[in-house]
Chains A and B, each alone.
Chain A
Amino acid sequence: MRSNITQYELVAPKSLDAILQILADSPDRYTPIAGGTELMVALGAGRLQQKKLISLWNLGELRFFEVTPDAVHIGAGATFTDIRNHPVITSELSLLSQAASWTGSIANQNRGTLGGNIVNGSPAADSPPALLAYDATVTLVSTRGSRTIPYRSFHLSYKKTVLAPDELLHSITLPRNLIGYKTYIRKVGTRNAQAISKVAIAAIARTKHGAIESIRIGAASLRETPARLIATEQSLLNQTVTPATIAAARSALLSETLPIDDIRSTAKYRAAVAANLLEEFLHTL
């Protein structure tokens, strides 16, 4: 059933301060809308509960990149197209530009934002595995100030995050200088471009004298939120890649994931594919 459009309010203040003030002051809660590629789908289907919305689209203070010697800061309002066009991301942090390249169609990438992908909180979203592998931090802002936390502690449970009602995701920070790291990302779905993943893995690792000295693995659709696979990482640290370590890593992965059955796939299939993806990566080290 189509929504009654006149019931919805949308405001578009011109500055971040003005938006934060409204979020802080308004007794009825405003919901941010950036590229709208999640919320407008809900509107079209008649299931957008939130009646008061506040636009973040194309706000310069949220749509930016800042490159320092140590890090790349990405404004939450950057679109997937912006990310694919950024020279430092495509050359040094290519897991993220790869993920952006298969986040829906070109039209979707021209509107969908990194912030929207993260805050929406889908366990199947495409950018989180890359952000987890890079150990991103996220900066949240409100009229009360700003705070920066590791992205891995942003999602609390299914579609629940640490964001307070008056807070916005401001930016995402990825550390640079990943010299000597091997990287891996793969999305398994019915097709890459326009389909939600059944399972996806992004990982980076560095070896020294054949042993894994550093490894981080991010996964989609293996738990109720995007997930770092800490136990799997632990099982691999200081190990050389042998059939025995691969077997141990596969069982660590199965022990720490809890995939679900849904219309896109079965839990059993997801777990088996995730373990195969991990093994594919380990063979490249």
Chain B
Amino acid sequence: MTQIHFTVNGESKALEAPPMKRLLDVLREDLHLTGAKEGCGEGECGSCSVLMNGDLVNSCLVPILQAEGAQITTIEGVAITEQLHPIQQCFLENGGAQCGICTPGMILATHHLLKKYKDPSLLQIQEGLSGNLCRCTGYIRIFNAVQAAALAGVAE
């Protein structure tokens, strides 16, 4: 077991964990943040996406020791108040979420994308979300939601 200190959604956390334990499992089991989902466990589906120091990563492929000292943002940290974050609101309004399994990852990938490109082209949206698979929506409504969020200027 190793002592880990890191920041999750703005709160500093200290815990003990086996150093190779996946960040995904620490979030879900130790911190009870179940927004990040396990789809594939091998980097293919993006349902476990979180931001690590502002960068989109698959938390199923991060050993917890490599998150030592890092700032992690999960879907639970996206809406700061009771209000939904504008990206979440745009997903809701555009039918960008159905069963919801992919949605936390899609929203964090969108967050990361809109920080890089305020006004992304469809191609940039497709690239930005290429690691996030959805079995329900057929993607068109998700792309619409991202475009709506870009229009609303929600980069922050």
Give me the interface of A with B, judged by CB distance under 8 Å: 5-6, 8-12, 33, 35-37, 40-41, 43-45, 53, 55, 57-58, 81, 104-108, 110-111, 193-194
Report whether A108 and B42 are in contact in the complex, using a CB–CB cutoff of 8 Å: no
Report whether A10 and B65 are in contact in the complex, using a CB–CB cutoff of 8 Å: yes
Give min CB distance, A86 to chain B, whole Å. 15
Q: Could you say which of B43, B56, B112 contacts A37, with CB atoms under 8 Å apart?
A: B43
Measured as residues with beta carbon below 8 angstroms from the partner, the interface class of chain B is 20 to 34
Residues of chain B contacted by A40 (CB below 8 angstroms): 22, 43, 60-63
Report whether A108 and B18 are in contact in the complex, using a CB–CB cutoff of 8 Å: no
Who on chain A is nearest to B24 by CB?
A44
Which residue, B60, B61, B132, has most C-beta atoms of chain A within 10 A?
B61
Report whether B61 and A37 are in contact in the complex, using a CB–CB cutoff of 8 Å: yes
Residues of chain A contacted by B56 (CB below 8 angstroms): 106-107, 110
Who on chain B is nearest to A41 by CB?
B42
Q: Could you say which of A12, A33, A106 contacts B112, with CB atoms under 8 Å apart?
A: A106
Q: Could you say which of A10, A105, A108 contacts B20, with CB atoms under 8 Å apart?
A: A10
Give me the interface of B with A, judged by CB distance under 8 Å: 2, 18-22, 25, 41-44, 46, 49, 55-58, 60-63, 65-66, 68, 109, 112-113, 127-128, 130-132
Q: Supply 4 further A-B pairs (C-beta < 8 A) apart from A37-B61, A40-B22, A193-B127.
A: A37-B43, A105-B46, A106-B127, A193-B131
Report whether A36 and B131 are in contact in the complex, using a CB–CB cutoff of 8 Å: no
Residues of chain B contacted by A5 (CB below 8 angstroms): 18, 20-22, 25
Residues of chain A contacted by B128 (CB below 8 angstroms): 106
Expressed in whole angstroms, the Cα–Cα distance for A59 and B109 within the complex equals 25
Residues of chain B contacted by A45 (CB below 8 angstroms): 41-42
Going nearest first, the 7 A-B pairs with the smallest beta carbon separation are A105-B131, A10-B19, A8-B20, A193-B130, A40-B61, A44-B41, A110-B55
Who on chain A is nearest to B132 by CB?
A105
